[in-house]
Each structure stands twice: as structure tokens, then as C-alpha cells.
Chains A and B, each alone.
Chain A
Amino acid sequence: MALFEIKNLSFAYPTGKGRNVLENIDLQIEQGQYITICGKSGSGKTTLLRHLKSVLTPHGNRTGVIYFHGQPLEDISLREQSSRIGYVMQNPDSQIVTDKVWHELAFGLESLGENQKTIRTRVAEMASYFGIQGWFHKNVAELSGGQKQLLNLASIMAMQPDTLILDEPTSQLDPIAAADFLNTVRKINLELGTTILITEHRLEDIFHASDRVVVMEQGRIVADDTPKATGAFLKEAGSEMFAAMPSPMQIFYGVNEEKVIPEDCPLTVREGRNWLSKSFPDGKPVKSRLEEDTDLAEIAKPALLMKEVWFRYEKDAPDVLKGVTFAAAEGELSAIVGGNGTGKSTALKTICNICRPYRGRVYLHGKRVDQYKRGELFKHNLVMLPQDPQSLFVKKTVREELEEMVSAKASSDDNASPIDEIVDLCEIRPLLDSHPYDLSGGEQQRTALAKVLLTDPKVLLLDEPTKGLDNFFKLKLAKILRALKERGVTIIMVSHDVEFCARYADRVSMFFDGGIITTNTPRRFFSQNSFYTTAANRMSRHVFDNAITNEDVIELCLENENHEQ
């Protein structure tokens, strides 16, 4: 008997004007499977997942039935559901209820009214399995984002569920914490046989581990098969979703335009390397380099210049910035990459003069930032988009958010036009009357971007702009950034997102231990790294010298093929 059996499920929100968010969904989930559900934002993934647990099921018009172990889900008591079906949500912070780690682990068991002894044993078990002993007595406020999400997972596992539903669990985590988290989920699946249903943007990390991949588009299931077969199907159908598939798969199908056997398709970097090696049996290919970029010229008149900037938060605290020297060329997109807690965000704050360096200077267009008059710095000069776009939302509608900026500038002559232009640039016209918190992550970000752009900046700072965005929103963002560059805006971006930087940045700098270690063009930068680089580069570096994006690898492969013929 299937664990879950969804039969002909359709659903519409009461405000949805009759549009179905889910349309005739049929899905069977077997015990112990690892199932990945993917689809664009708004394809109905979350709505579908929420239907698998009665307390989370949204209100609306629903037809169809969901069976859990052969019984209709609504006939199963909430008590049984709460322990047997675990649900991990996106935001690590808001899911935590209590102030202590140990109390959070016990929360679910307390709700079920378990006795002291049972709770004690289970909590001890969970803390040991998840490696939480070290921070068992801590306040949750002291934990990092990754630890918080792990705690959420552990406190759900303490109730011993046989199904674990995860709704984009790593979208708010940095890549290292995300990989750790997904490995733990994988471990739970392998060692405990817990059924996993997961939606994710980072398909690279979970695709190969999945038994099945379900693809949703506009509320329908369009594909439901093994990862390899799903990939083949998406390619065949010319689906937009194919762009979200792991790099090795995209390269494989990019090279082999004609019919190929889906079974040969590589899913991981390791498989991709082997596949490339087989393509070039006699060692090095004929052409192994793409045309080199010209050397980075010394920037003559930098839009922004940081000169040996030192900073610490308190007199006795350790230094966060240790002599940062950095220049950004006018009209370019400079990316700063590097791990968590290396001081990247602090560097942006010193540019904004919120954190004042105790040694060193920051110049904006040749003038020291601390010499700009009050308010002048952020008017037509410099602006920063914060990591969390929600930090900028104060009002009830997107329109009011934007108007706040214009009235603050108190420019009496035609208020409407700057807003209009920015609204079109950021593609948020249809959202103007929505509440900012009703928007999806990508829409919120474009709204926040529109808000900051209303100051008409010459230099735009972005703090982790791709965090939590799916591929389609990243593409939109890239398009906006390109348009801004064309207008001469200088963009400085701090990011973990190696793939995004490789594709769109003009120069990339590595930030480590409070300073900039190297700066180079993306091609040189990433082809010189061997760990901190793109999947395409890791997969191809043994045959090609400097291919860093999927397109690079495909191009080189095809050129070599032509040579052979």
C-alpha cells in the first residue's frame, strides 16, 4: 500500500478568482522514497505539500482525496498526523518556538503529552544523532542559521515521523550550511528509511539522491520519473524547467543535441568528469582553451575606492576588516565572493559609512564618504540593497513603499515619472497594489530594488542578492542589473552564489579573513580555483583550461567535435 495516495486533487484559493492552484493532481508516494518536487515559484509546490498535513492545509475549494496508509487523511486524528508527518518550512528563524535548544527539541513531545522519561530519552537520542550536544543548553538566539534549521529538523524527528516534508529548507542558508543540511536529510532517508518529500532550488545537491523527481507547472504535474528520465523529458519538451537542472545534465544535453540514451546522462560532477574523460579517450582535446580575457587594466578613475580599511566593532573586539583595498570601475559589476563571517557585509557597511573604519579611507567618486554632507551620500550617489528585502518594507502596498521614497526626497516636480520608469525596469507593475508580504521572494526583492533605485544611485551595493531566489528570478535580476549597467550604474555585489558571479560579473574578488585576496576576471578567477568554483569548471577542469559556465563547456565540446570531423 502506498504511503500517500493523492487522487485527482484540485484546489483554488477563495481569492483566486476561480483559477486552480492545483489541477487534477495524481501522485503516489511509496514508503522510504526520496522524492524531489521542482517547479517555478508559484507552480503550486508549497500548496501541494501543505495538503499532506491537515493543520497546514489552506482554506479554499478542494476536490479529490488524499489517502494516508489507505485512509482518507482527514479521518486521521491531528494527533497522529502531527507525530507521523513532519514538516520543515523555509524560514529557519520563525519556526522556532521556545528560547532554549533543549526546550525546542521537547516541544512536540510536550504537545503530545508524553511523560518525562520518554521525552528525556528521545531528546537525548536526537541531540546525539544530530550532534547537538555541544549547544544543547544554549539560547536559540546564539545559533547560526544552519544550526537553527538543523534544530528544526531534529525537533521534528524527535516525534519519530515516518514521512518528512521539506519546503525549500535551505533557501535561507549559505552553501556550506545548505549542503550539511541536505546531507543530514539524506542520512535520515538512508539510515532510518524515512520517506522524504522535498522542494529545492539547489537541485545540484539533491538531484542524484532522489528516487523520483516530480515536476510541476501551473498546478499540474508534468513529469514524474527517475531523475535521468525527468531530465530527458524536460529537454524533449523544451521546458523552461530544464534550465534549473544540474550543470552536468545541462552540458550533456547541450553537447548531444541528437537522440541520446537518458541513462548515460551524468548527474553529479564526478559522473560528469567521467563522461568528459570518455569523450576524449586520448587525453587532451584539440582545443582546450577559450579565448582569454584581456588583462585587467588598472582602474584609472574608480567609482569607488577602499584604501587599506581597518575596522572592528568594539575597541577590544577582534578586527573584522584588516586592510581592505578594493576598487570598482565605473559602470561595471564587481562581485565579492567568500565564505560566511569573513567580513564581506561589514565591508559594504563601511562603504555606506555606517561602520566607520579606524584606519584607511573610502572614496566615492574621488571624495571621501565621510566628507559627504548629511543625506547627500544617499541622494543620487550611493545606495545599498539589504540582504533581507523585508527590512525595507513599512507600508501596506508596493505603491506606497515606492511613494515613501519620493516624498522623502521632497521633489515637488512631477513625482510620478521616476516611479513609473523604475516600476517598468523592475517589472513590478502588476504588483503595485499588493501587500509587500504577499509577494514571493523574488518579487519582494525586485520591489526592494525598485525602492532603493528611486534614490537614483550612481553606485549600487547588493548584499547577497540571489539568496533564496530560484533560477528564473535570478535571470530576471541579471537582466535588471544589465540594464542598470547600461545606464552607467556601478554595481558592487557581495555573494555566495558562484554560478551567478561567474556568469554576470565583470570582475570577481575573493574575500577572506578581513581582506581582499585576489581580484580577476571571472574566467581567470574561477579557472584558477579548484574548490571555490562553478560546477561546470569542476567537471571540466581536467580537460579544459578555462571553461567556467555550462555554455563554455558546451562550446568547447562542440568545437572539438567539429575538429574531429
Chain B
Amino acid sequence: MSSYMELFRHFEKTRDLVRDLLICGFKRRGEFVRRSARTYDDERRRVESWLDGYVRHDDSVKGRQIAISVDCGRITEDPLYKAYGAKSFTDNDIRLHFLLLDLLADGEAQTLRELTEAMAVRYGFVFDEQTVRGKLREYVREGLILTEKRGRTAYFRLTPHDADDLLAACPGLDEALRSFSGSTPFGVVGDSILKSVGLRNDIFLRKHRYIVHTLEDIILPDILRAIEEGRTLLLCNAPQRVGHEAAEREETVVPMQILVSSQTGRRYLAAYVPKYRRFNSYRLDYLRAVTVGGTVEDAAALRETYRRVIGRVYGVSFGSREDTGAVEPIRITFRFDEEAEAFVVERLARERRGGVLTHPAKDTYVLTLDVDDPLEVLPWLRSFTGRIARVEGGCALFRKRFYEDARRMQVLYGGDGRADIQ
């Protein structure tokens, strides 16, 4: 039986568990069916260690329920960054890291043989050249070490880019690091710089922060590389609907852009799907893995088409005529006391997303939106409940759902006897 280790090698399993605990918050041990009980216990123990203070246990007759509950608006540091700081490594990895950095700290270039010998002579650590070469190559890839050929011999030296020097040369960069280390995506990278020089954020908070994005950042470098280089991506997509076990499906796509919603907490990959010859979007939190593939011949043309198409996308849906039928511009009439409720005009102006706002009469505003999938507008529209006088255009399903939902809301809240319910 293997013993528990605090560090781990594969991020994917832990990412799944943290997402379940953070998002669902009601699962019990037996409901985590994708992993053995022991694996679950190990992963849960790690999560509890990183998220000390944010894990909530509730015991009931149904069993012990574990959840992560974080008020993200009041934390100065994303607790999930700790997951990125827990990658396992070998004894040689850590020895080579510190010894090579020490040997190369003076900025002088040295050969593989010189470095290997120096480690034996100066520190008493004997490594074979193959091991040292592997570590040097890895650090060259990460940009920590630079290499150059002199004749047939490779020389290695430390990158001159030093965090302390940069902070000294750019006053105020420390505060910028504190602030931006909470940003998305990749705040965890900023946090790694901040912590390496012994700083911590203490005064920069984030409202509307979704720490679950931190987990998704693990797959972003490959996605961004594929976008940059015009390559395909093989997606392992596993929609994890509440109450349903995820079924994995593989799809090859040409990635276009990352779409981020600051209000729903969801981030998507917008991509062209050659198989269906159309654009589609994929939730990042559903993507278990991505693999970068070959280059796409017509990448530039696809990107041009995408730029044209995305202009008509309200959120992330590229629309499907099978679902919506014919679509025409949406026309929404709002009615409210514009003097007493001037903030509503402000909201309409700042949230109209390319729509045209007119003011045909006192207390009446009309917003016209021309979008591919009218159904996407509904959640936003409902946030104006109490001020919507008329909804026209879009598609039949859009109008039907709006008016039906309005009736159902009346049934839910129309009775008087519900206010006593706690």
C-alpha cells in the first residue's frame, strides 16, 4: 500500500476533485465515482491542506459532505495557487536545481563537464553527465539557463534576467506584482514571482473573482500555443453537469479565441470544428486535456471568417438554426421612471453589448440587438425584471420562453403567503 505524499504529479485528477468540491459543494465520499476510495482520500487530504480554513464539513444521515466555501471578494491570495506549488520531484531534481544555480550565479558560462566536476568537488555530489545534461536542457527550455556553442562544445550560463534587479530598476513594480498576481488568467505566474522575492499581497482585492479559473489555467498554455501557431487541438471534453457523471468525448478543433464571462464564471474556447464545418464553443472547465496537433493550412482564412462571425455572437453561442429557426433582430422595450431610476439608463448604456439604444418617449427606452442566438440574451434581460414592457423579434422560441417564464415567475412569487418561508 502506497503512503500518502503531499506533492503530486498529475494535476488533472486533483483539478477534478477541487472543481467538484468548489462548485457542487454537496457531494459525499461515495459519490466521487471516478476514483478509488484511497485516491479520493489522498486528494481530499491535499485539498484540505492547501485550503485550510475554507473547507466545510457537514455531517448528516446521508454521510459526511465536504465543500470548499470561499468568499473570493475578501481574499488577498487565491488559495488554489498552492496546488501549482505542489508538483512532485526527485531528490536529484532539487539538488541539481540549487547546485547549478549556485555554480552559474557569477554569470560565467561553463561546460557540462565543468559543471558535473564542480558539483563533485565543491559539494561532494556525484552525478553522471547524462543526468546533468537532462536538467540543463530542461532549464534551457524554461529560459532559466542559456546555451551557446563555442566550436563543438556547448556552454551554459544563467539567464541574466533577475527578479530583484528588475524590482530595483522599476520602483512600484512590487505593488504591481501584488495587484496583478490576482488577475486572470495566469495570476499564479505573477504569484510565483512575488513569492520568490519574499513579497505577499495584502491590500489588493478582487470582486467577481472566480478562483475555479485557476484550475483551468493548466490547459491554457497549450491552447494559446495552438492559437498562436495556427495548429489543431485534440480536446478531451467531459461536460460535468450536476447530478450526472461526465462522459468523455474527443474532438479535433482549430482554436480561435478564449471567451471569458466575468459574470457567469464560465470561460470557453471558441473553435472551428472541421467535422461539422462550423464554429463552436467549449467550456474550459469541461476540458480534461488538450493536445496540440499539426498546423492548419487555411488558418488565416478561418480566422478572418471567425472575426466576422464573432461580431454577431452575444455571448458564446454561435447559434443553431435547428434550435432557433429564422432569427431577426431583437427589439426590447423598457419602461420605468427615468428620473427616479436613472441608474437603469446607465445600465442599459454600459451593458448593451453593441445593441442600439433609443429613447422614443419619456420613460421608454428601446434596445435593438442583432445576434446569432437570441436565447443567450434572456438571462441578462431577466435582470431587468419589473421594467420590460415588450419583447419582439429574435425567434419564436426566444419570445415564447420570455413570456412563459414571466408567467411562471408570477406563479412563483405572485402568492402572498410565501414571505414567511426561511
**Bind each other:** no
